Structure 1
Amino acid sequence: MDDYKLAILSAFLIIASIIWWFWISKTSKKETHPIPPGPRGLPILGYLPFLQLNLHKQFTELAQKYGPVYKLWLGSKLSVVISSPSLIKEVVRDHDTVFANRDPPVAAMVATGGVDIVWSPYGQYWRDMRKLFVREMLSNRNLEASYHLRKDEVRKVVKSLCMKIKTGSSVEISELIFVTELNVVFNMLWGGTMDKKIMDRIGSEFREAISKVVDLLGKPNVSDFFPVLAKLDVQGIEKETKRLMPCIDEILDSVIYERMKTMASGKSRDEGRKDFLQILLELKEQNVSNRSIDLPQIKAILKDIIVGGTDTTATIIEWAMSEVLNDPQVKKRVQDELTQVVGLNNAVEESHIPRLHYLDAVIKESFRLHPPVPLLVPRLPSQSSVIGGYTIPKGSRVFLNVWSIHRDPLVWDNPSEFKPDRFFNGSGNFDFTGNNFQYLPFGSGRRICPGILLAERMVMHLLATLFHLFEWKLPEGSENNIDLSENFGIVMRKKTPLIAIPSPRLHDSEIYA
């Protein structure tokens, strides 16, 4: 089988080399504006053999040589990398509709079928689903109504950490936060009703499956760069994604089946407002032609929300805690503010968040240095456009290098240093809304992350609780040695997970009960 694949690949490369050079020369002659400059690479393969593991850093280095907009031929696909606030503004503001499409990789098509909110093409279906999600789950009114769910999960974190303290155990921060966020999202999606046997293994199998799928989404795949070879699945990414999906689908199928059975019986699950799953299932039953939705689409949307609400949030909280624990002065200022705003006899409430200005600055600085999605989700222009004087051809894959912009010395003072004061007391016009193109941790334009409001609340509440109620130290032998290196992917995690040992910070034991 390996020889068969190799023979087909060799034949393809010989034939495609002629087509490739012909197409390049023909395209360059047709365009009024030139396509961007960039490294030449090899025939057919382009720059693909030269890609490095830390793609965000490599793209930044290439920008220093070729400018803020440059091209890369990756296999048969033309990629364009943009690393300038003014040029990103042209993409997400001036030509937002043109660049509002996605180019889903093979792994995304296996995971969601491309009919979810993240990967579906820009159009009426995407607009309807995004509007429904924001209105029914993430509006200010609904977030206020679901506060008790988030508060209960934060209290569970506190109790879990108290058990760790009794046994003297250490804590893997990202795992702790992932499970907490997962429970919050489950409660908001469908009230948290699920078979206990399935729930018991969510923290391990489910998290592992989600993390691996996210990794596969960001892994360079020959099938994506040479679509004609997709059937061969040379790297086995399609096969691996298919292997992981049953663990995720089992949970979703269980919940959907139970909810459909309850709805069919005519029994009301609960008094009060409907949860998001019930709204989606009712929309399916209505079968209105212009708003039709089926079970695969419902599952795809639920997967989006679960992944977006867990993996990225756990990642940024782990980064923020790592940076704070790495700087004793920052940690002292965080805890002094918590003492002043919350008090030594109280637990943190969401009502305290608006007054935690320094912690807010710490979180913003963490997003600056460690944007969870460093290249955002690549865009796919629906027609050729001119950006920065260069033609960006229709169908090219466009990367917005937010990581590079967040560390640009022309934009930021001492950009490699962790300095929350740059955001303290509203310094500069920096928030998460995507209107300042020097700071875009959640993206910008039509495809900006829709979960910003929930992410802000949960990150602030969890970090405030962890630093207000607990002191943290590193395991013996790793003191004063927090590894801040990165593992590049579509989500940029820490290379070495943060493991720390908690102890009570406050004297009132009732606060921990």
Structure 2
Amino acid sequence: MSCTSITILVFLLFTFTYLLFKLLLNPKQKTINHKKPPGPPPLPIIGNLHLLGTLPHRTLESLSKKYGPIMSFQLGQVPAIVISSSKVAESFLITNDMVFANRPNIIGAEIMSYGCKGMSFSKYGPYWRSVRKLCASKLLSPSKVEMFGPIRKEKLDVLVKSLENGSLVSEVVNVSEVVENLIEDIVYKMVLSRSKYDQFDLKRLVQQVMTLVGSFNLADYVPWLGAFDPQGLTRACKKTSKALDEVLETIITEHEQTTNNVDKASHEDFVDTLVTFMHQNIDDGSEQNHNIDGSNMKAILLDMIVASIDTSAATIEWALSELLRHPRVMKKLQDEIQNEVGNKRMVEEKDLKKLNYLDMVVDETLRLHPVSPLLLPRECRESITIDGYFIKEKTRVIVNALTIGRDPNIWSENAEEFYPERFINKKMNYEGHEEFESIPFGFGRRRCPGIQLGLRTVRFVLAQLVHCFNWKLPYNISPSNLNMDEKFGQSIHRAQHLHAIPIYRLEAHHKLQ
């Protein structure tokens, strides 16, 4: 008998046993008269998992049109609520933000994040507040965003020079790959002070982390399957985590040995900052003390690296894709930059504050292609009734940012179109209450703390690439038939890499300093 056949038989046996025990132990179980939101009828054991498909955010968008903006959805043994409108999201993420501030247990995050000691997946409480405060004030503050400006410029200069050389022979460039490599180089230099470690393939390991954490693990929703690990994801997570731990341990040790180097003060990286807090109390104002040890540091660093790379690269990739599909918008953006910068030099970060149409292009990209269309899930900390619906403690809350950003009631009948001009009279900062119609970075207590760093990177890279180059699609592709299919993961990337031909357009070739 094959391994697959044995797995199927074991699954059927446990399913039968589960149903039998449920029937025997609860023959006259009373139904509590609590009104639940409407939703598709669940199947035994798997609930509605069979409906998700390969692009869950699209499936849930479609189902919300039938069942409404607040929908019940059974994820195996885990009850869930799917939110698909800005009004309902406001009730959850602002009015009752404290109730829904928890993160659910996710096997991949538990393994990769040292027992969820990072900021993204840790439970709401004093420890999470302390870590967030540390990251926001010491790693992601406005002063840090400014301090790392020279790194962004240095790495982008190198890329522009490389693309300029390729343009001489009309080279077709894998734009997706080029952008991801650029963002990785920037992030590693900010976090680690160097782009690579010769003895480790850090980039490959981080990419594995992003893939594994973003993978759909059945054991998260049907807990008894965890003992069998039918998809092999738990084994893969443990293997990758062990290899990554060796790298992070080496990095931290190296930084500890150079902490007292007087030259470090002028270009302190994220690890240097965390090392200064090693074994110190990070007080959040409560009576509890939280010390930063090695596992805390590694979990926080991994959060910083993964979130910074995946989100920025995906946003730039989608923005360039939309600009190639809409030559009118591309020309208008290039004209704005040229009017402010001229065509004899590259864009500087100080120019960005004058580029209003660039902001509109980025806002429109984030509306149509939110970084993580299904925001990191939350978990209900206590039973509550909202809009007449009873939501039980431990219910998982999924906010579909994709649906919210494409709501025709908010964005009019052209909500599916890429039209940056819709933001002419709407300035987005993603951190105030007035922009709740588009929430690509989340909202409330658990929103992304690295918004300003991410936006600065996206705007600078995008401005530089469209200012220095005209971009043409390969000869067999036109703007109207450019494939825009998606690939599901923690962040949504293009299913097919974007390829284009750069044509250098500045009068005076930029000279690297």
1:334 is displaced (CA, Å) by 0.7
Q: Does 1:408 align with 2:404?
A: no
2:255 aligns with 259
TM-score by length of 2: 0.91
Q: Does 1:238 align with 2:238?
A: no
Q: Does 1:475 align with 2:469?
A: no
Please give the alpha-carbon distance, in whole angstroms, between the structure 1 residues aligned to 2:163 and 2:26: 60
**How many equivalent pairs are there?**
501
1:287-366 aligned at under 5 Å gives the runs: 290-366=289-365
Higher mean alpha-carbon deviation, 97-106 vs 165-174, is at: 165-174
1:282 aligns with 276
Q: Does 1:488 align with 2:488?
A: yes
1:217 aligns with 213
Question: Is the contact made by 2:483 and 2:496 (CA closer than 8 Å) also made in structure 1?
Answer: yes
Higher mean alpha-carbon deviation, 9-18 vs 492-501, is at: 9-18
Please give the alpha-carbon distance, in whole angstroms, between the structure 1 residues aligned to 2:234 and 2:341: 49
Question: Is the contact made by 2:177 and 2:497 (CA closer than 8 Å) also made in structure 1?
Answer: no
1:362-381 aligned at under 5 Å gives the runs: 362-381=361-380
Which digits, 9 at most, give the CA deviation of each residue in 1:403-453, with x for residues without a partner? 1111111111211111010012xx235332252221101110000011100
Distance 1:358 1:20, change over 3 A: farther
1:190 aligns with 192
Distance 1:23 1:170, change over 3 A: farther
Which digits, 9 at most, give the CA deviation of each residue in 1:43-72, with x for residues without a partner? 222112232112112112211211111111
Please give the alpha-carbon distance, in whole angstroms, between the structure 2 residues aligned to 1:290 and 1:165: 57
Which amino acid is the alignment partner of residue 285 of structure 1? H
TM-score by length of 1: 0.91
1:196 is displaced (CA, Å) by 4.5
Higher mean alpha-carbon deviation, 211-220 vs 74-83, is at: 211-220
Question: Is the contact made by 1:87 and 1:387 (CA closer than 8 Å) also made in structure 2?
Answer: no
1:151 aligns with 153
Please give the alpha-carbon distance, in whole angstroms, between the structure 2 residues aligned to 1:292 and 1:412: 46
1:141 aligns with 143
Please give the alpha-carbon distance, in whole angstroms, between the structure 2 residues aligned to 1:132 and 1:157: 33
State which of 176, 180, 185 in structure 1 corresponds to 2:178: 176
1:273 is displaced (CA, Å) by 6.6
Please give the alpha-carbon distance, in whole angstroms, between the structure 2 residues aligned to 1:125 and 1:26: 39
2:128 aligns with 126
Please give the alpha-carbon distance, in whole angstroms, between the structure 1 residues aligned to 2:28 and 2:71: 18
1:105 aligns with 106
Question: Is the contact made by 2:186 and 2:195 (CA closer than 8 Å) also made in structure 1?
Answer: no
1:365 is displaced (CA, Å) by 0.6
Please give the alpha-carbon distance, in whole angstroms, between the structure 2 residues aligned to 1:179 and 1:255: 20
Question: Is the contact made by 1:442 and 1:452 (CA closer than 8 Å) also made in structure 2?
Answer: yes
Distance 1:90 1:241, change over 3 A: same
Distance 1:286 1:219, change over 3 A: closer
1:474 is displaced (CA, Å) by 1.6
Which digits, 9 at most, give the CA deviation of each residue in 1:106-162, with x for residues without a partner? 121221131111000011111111111111122112222222122212212212212
Distance 1:160 1:24, change over 3 A: farther
Question: Is the contact made by 2:192 and 2:269 (CA closer than 8 Å) also made in structure 1?
Answer: yes
Structure 2 unmatched ranges of 5 or more: 283-287
Please give the alpha-carbon distance, in whole angstroms, between the structure 2 residues aligned to 1:24 and 1:244: 45
1:461-472 aligned at under 5 Å gives the runs: 461-472=460-471
Distance 1:505 1:389, change over 3 A: same
Question: Is the contact made by 1:69 and 1:388 (CA closer than 8 Å) also made in structure 2?
Answer: no
Structure 1 unmatched ranges of 5 or more: none
Please give the alpha-carbon distance, in whole angstroms, between the structure 2 residues aligned to 1:51 and 1:195: 40
Identity %: 35
1:80 is displaced (CA, Å) by 1.0
Please give the alpha-carbon distance, in whole angstroms, between the structure 2 residues aligned to 1:363 and 1:23: 54
Which amino acid is the alignment partner of residue 228 of structure 2? L
Higher mean alpha-carbon deviation, 312-321 vs 141-150, is at: 141-150
Which amino acid is the alignment partner of residue 141 of structure 2? S
1:287 is displaced (CA, Å) by 6.6
2:507 aligns with 507
Question: Is the contact made by 2:104 and 2:396 (CA closer than 8 Å) also made in structure 1?
Answer: yes
1:502 is displaced (CA, Å) by 1.1
1:385 is displaced (CA, Å) by 1.6
Distance 1:126 1:224, change over 3 A: same
Corresponding residue SS for 1:399: strand
Please give the alpha-carbon distance, in whole angstroms, between the structure 1 residues aligned to 2:191 and 2:436: 32
Distance 1:28 1:176, change over 3 A: farther
1:25-44 aligned at under 5 Å gives the runs: 28-29=31-32, 33-44=34-45
Distance 1:245 1:502, change over 3 A: farther
Corresponding residue SS for 2:503: strand
Higher mean alpha-carbon deviation, 242-251 vs 123-132, is at: 242-251
Distance 1:164 1:353, change over 3 A: same
2:285 aligns with none
Question: Is the contact made by 1:434 and 1:443 (CA closer than 8 Å) also made in structure 2?
Answer: no
Question: Is the contact made by 1:283 and 1:291 (CA closer than 8 Å) also made in structure 2?
Answer: no
Please give the alpha-carbon distance, in whole angstroms, between the structure 1 residues aligned to 2:463 and 2:418: 19
